[in-house]
Amino acid sequence: MAAKAQPRPVPVAVRCAIYTRKSTDEGLDQAFNTLDAQRESGEHFVTSRILEGWTALPKRYDDGGYTGANMDRPALQELFVDIEAGQVNCVVVYKYDRLSRSMADFMKILEKLEQHQVAFVSVTEPFDTRTPQGRFVVNMLLSFAELERATTAERTRDKMRASRRKGKFVGGNLVLGYDAAPKGGALVVNIEEAERVREVFRLYLDLGSLLPVVEELEQRGWTMKRWTTREGRLHGGAKFTKTTLYNLLTNVTYTGRVKFEGKLLEGEQERIIDDATFNRVQEQLNLNGRGGKRRRNKHSGLLRGLLKCGCCGAGMTHTYVGKKKVLYRYYVCNTAHQRGYHSCETKSVPAPLIERAVIDKIRGFAQNPAMFSEVLRRVEDHRRESDGPALTDPAELQDVLQKFGPLWEQLATAEQERFIRVLIREVRYNRRTELVTVRFQSESVKRFCEGSTE
């Protein structure tokens, strides 16, 4: 009697996700593009293993116009979501570098696949990541791919450096007076903007300082360079400030030169400003003190970094002027400083006046015994966070709080600043209402100190 034939085992279903990628979007508008070709090859490969239970998922995972140098790709991220949901058993690609060109990223992807027991197969490279030999081949191939990518990047950098040495434009933000050539690689003069640049230089020589020029430019409605990127986005067009005006007046691009690696080289762009005018402007900027920029303040301000303008919300910077050996300290609204005093009501306020108002606020609760433990805790926390020395001895601190008025002036300037920062989070001065509002660091301090001081 013949033996009964054993039934053929049913193959385990292997759901295959076919991933495709192209670095640029060139040609993707064609009826049959490279993403379609990659998917077709993947489908043929999966069909050849249909007897083993392989089937191609109908969902497409296509990343057209995305680099393989990172994992910031929408289709790849969607693939990860489906893998974690248990909907994929195998990832199929036409070539391994379609998945990644970075070894570090590729190893992360492999770890994710192994974590969810998902295989990885390349149509054109015969390896299987389920075996140690297959993983070795993958690592070796990726090493060559990463080397090629690094070599290409190095060649690109060398080419850009060589172009800069020849005075060519290699990209970046455009400046007022120039447009990028249609094919790139060069700057061409924008006639209307170039005349504005010349007028800005003349205005500075006539008015003698940055702020009056900023105010005049705002009255005329002139702004910085505004252009449309290749992606169609508008860029630039901000109002002038003292800083951006200074950058324009010191830009050697307008003299037909370029600055590269600390050296001035002849550029290919046509000059807008002659050397005599440019040099006169630099001399005037130097006479005004570091190009008219605010000097670094060597005199301490108790509220430095804490004070904000109550009218416009900008920070207020501590500065000073010396007249006849007398020092006058101020806090200046940054909006008014950069764009002119007409731009904000607050303008500036004498530093001693507003510092005294804040000190009086502290003086009001310094006699309260309930505050000492809270202040001491804040001081100690601040010391530990900064890993610095203690503000002062606890007994001395208690004495300062109990006799705040006469002893405050005996504290060193650095100790006064640290003391203020332990207690206060923010101070706002509103010129319109003449109010000084103090925000304290903790709720327990705030309960004793709510309100404003005129």
Provide the residue ranges of all domains of the chain, joining segments of one domain with +.
Answer: 14-148, 178-292, 307-453
CATH of domain 14-148: 3.40.50.1390
Counts of helices then strands in the chain (DSSP H, E)? 15, 18
Q: What is the Cα–Cα distance from 366 to 363, expressed in whole angstroms?
A: 5
Residue where the block lists tokens 């083993």: 52
Which pLDDT belongs to residue 296? Answer: 43
Superfamily of domain 178-292: Putative Large Serine Recombinase; Chain B, Domain 2 (3.90.1750.20)
pLDDT in tens, 285-325: 887 764 444 444 455 678 888 888 888 888 888 887 777 77
Q: What is the pTM of this model?
A: 0.44
pLDDT digits (tens, 9 = 90+) for 334-359: 888 777 777 788 888 888 888 888 88
When the pLDDT of each residue in the chain is averaged and rounded to a whole number, the result is 79
Q: Which residues of 51-78 are buried (b: 16+ CB within 10 A; e: fewer)?
A: eeebebbeeebbbbebebeebebebbee
The tokens of 148 are what? 């090629």
Show pLDDT as tens, one digit a residue, over the chain (454 residues): 455 555 555 567 899 999 999 998 888 888 899 999 999 999 999 999 999 899 999 999 999 999 998 899 999 999 999 999 999 999 999 998 898 888 778 878 887 888 899 989 888 876 666 667 766 776 776 677 677 777 777 876 776 666 666 556 666 788 899 988 887 778 889 999 999 999 999 999 888 888 889 888 988 999 998 888 777 788 888 889 888 999 999 998 898 888 877 777 788 888 999 999 999 899 888 877 644 444 444 556 788 888 888 888 888 888 877 777 777 888 888 888 777 777 788 888 888 888 888 887 777 655 555 555 666 566 566 556 655 555 445 555 555 555 555 556 666 677 777 777 777 888 898 888 888 888 876 554 555 444 444 4
Is the Cβ–Cβ distance between 354 and 330 less than 8 Å?
no
Q: 228: which 2 tokens?
A: 């449309």
pLDDT at 194 (0 to 100): 92
